[in-house]
Amino acid sequence: MSAALITGASSGIGAVFAQELAKRKKNLVLVARSEDKLQQIAEKLQAKYQSVYAATKAFVLNFTEALWAENRNTGVKILALCPGPTKTEFFNVAGWERFSVNNSEYKNTDEPSEVVKTALKDIEKGNSYTVPGRFLNQVITNIPRFLPREMIAKLVEREFRPT
């Protein structure tokens, strides 16, 4: 798998290189002076249906659990927080209308105070991760343990397919 380092990726020639290489499915390392512009182009280049987001979450969970294991006897407390839908601006910013404030499913999201309460309780217990929230969040989190990976990928794609 090849990768390309693109400096000046937020505008001009660098931005065009980023767009063209993304179309060719190259892994990109983008560098720019403007963090805002870099963020904008990265968002444009993300794969469909938030697959980059999902892969990043998987990495962060595994990385956090490794840090937890390496530091569990040092007094440093480390916890991966894996909340379900929560009443924050996340869904509006991410463009997920399903859980946005104006959608009926917003009422089924968790309060941030409850998420934090659970996280603090679990970090005090010494847990490496926590999945606060409703029962459905627990189910969704554990389904991948029992179903084939391809089936999970298809289910997630269908769930996040733009309407």
Is the per-residue pLDDT at 2 higher than 60?
A: yes
Tell me: do 103 and 153 sit in the same domain: yes
Tell me: do 79 and 20 sit in the same domain: no
Tell me: do 156 and 77 sit in the same domain: yes
Tell me: do 88 and 147 sit in the same domain: yes
The kind and range of the H/E element at 81 are strand 80-81
Asked if residue 38 lies in contact with residue 7, where contact means CB atoms within 8 angstroms, the answer is no
Tell me: do 32 and 106 sit in the same domain: no
Tell me: do 53 and 30 sit in the same domain: no
Distance CA 83, CA 13 (A): 40
Q: What is the pLDDT of residue 54?
A: 73
Tell me: do 75 and 148 sit in the same domain: yes
Asked if residue 79 lies in contact with residue 130, where contact means CB atoms within 8 angstroms, the answer is yes
Q: What is the pLDDT of residue 48?
A: 57
Domain span at residue 30? 3-45
pLDDT digits 0-9 by tens, 46-65: 655 566 677 778 888 899 99
Do you know the residue count of the chain?
A: 163
pLDDT digits 0-9 by tens, 71-124: 999 999 999 999 888 888 877 776 667 666 677 777 788 889 999 999 999 999
Asked if residue 130 lies in contact with residue 80, where contact means CB atoms within 8 angstroms, the answer is yes
Asked if residue 33 lies in contact with residue 7, where contact means CB atoms within 8 angstroms, the answer is no
CATH number of the domain where residue 84 is located: 3.40.50.720
Tell me: do 122 and 53 sit in the same domain: yes
Is the per-residue pLDDT at 26 higher than 90?
A: no
Name the band, by pLDDT with cuts 50, 70 and 90, for residue 6.
confident
Distance CA 47, CA 153 (A): 14
Model pTM score: 0.62
Q: What is the pLDDT of residue 70?
A: 96
14-26 core/surface letters (b: 16 or more CB in 10 A; e: else): bbebbeebbeeee
Name the band, by pLDDT with cuts 50, 70 and 90, for residue 158.
confident
Higher pLDDT, 143 or 130: 130
Triad 99, 88, 152: Cα angle to 5°: 50
Tell me: do 54 and 104 sit in the same domain: yes
Tell me: do 15 and 40 sit in the same domain: yes
Higher pLDDT, 43 or 66: 66
Tell me: do 29 and 73 sit in the same domain: no
Asked if residue 20 lies in contact with residue 6, where contact means CB atoms within 8 angstroms, the answer is no
Determine the average pLDDT of the residues in 42-46. Answer: 69
Tell me: do 110 and 83 sit in the same domain: yes
Higher pLDDT, 116 or 9: 116
Residue partners of 117: CB distance under 8 A and separation at least 6: 132
Look up residue 41 and give its two tokens: 């182009």
Asked if residue 162 lies in contact with residue 49, where contact means CB atoms within 8 angstroms, the answer is yes
Please state, for a pLDDT cut of 70, what percent of the chain lies above it.
87
Triad 25, 52, 140: Cα angle to 5°: 135
Mean of pLDDT over the chain: 82
Q: How many domains does the chain have?
A: 2
